[in-house]
Amino acid sequence: MENNYQNKGVAFKNKWKKTDRHPDYKGKGNFKGVEFEFAAWKKNGEEDQINFTFSEPYVKEEPTIKEYAENKSAKQVYEDKIINQSDGLPF
């Protein structure tokens, strides 16, 4: 969010909700310059009550080279060796 949205947030209906454990609404916000995400559930039987949970924004972590190498399948390792093999043959 940009600075002009400080101390504000927005929520949308969760279109991926499959079970009652999934939130009814999900959103993002900013409070005093700190970004956050939130999920909200309508309380059963209480139309006027919504419960929230707040969390830090999700950041997808890219694997390190070591993690990537350790997670390669045997087939991938074999294919990489064949492709990168330099045996001096002209073909």
Query: 58-88 pLDDT, tens per residue?
Result: 887 776 666 666 766 656 666 666 666 555 5
Percentage, residues of the chain above pLDDT 70: 62
Domain boundaries, the chain: 3-84
Residue 2 CA to residue 30 CA, distance in Å, equals: 9
**Averaged pLDDT of the chain:** 78
Q: Is 90 helix (H, G, I), strand (E, B) or coil?
A: coil
Token pair for 87: 């045996």
pTM reported for the whole predicted model: 0.56
Q: For 46-54, what is the mean pLDDT?
A: 84
Task: Answer yes or no: is pLDDT of 42 > 50.
Answer: yes
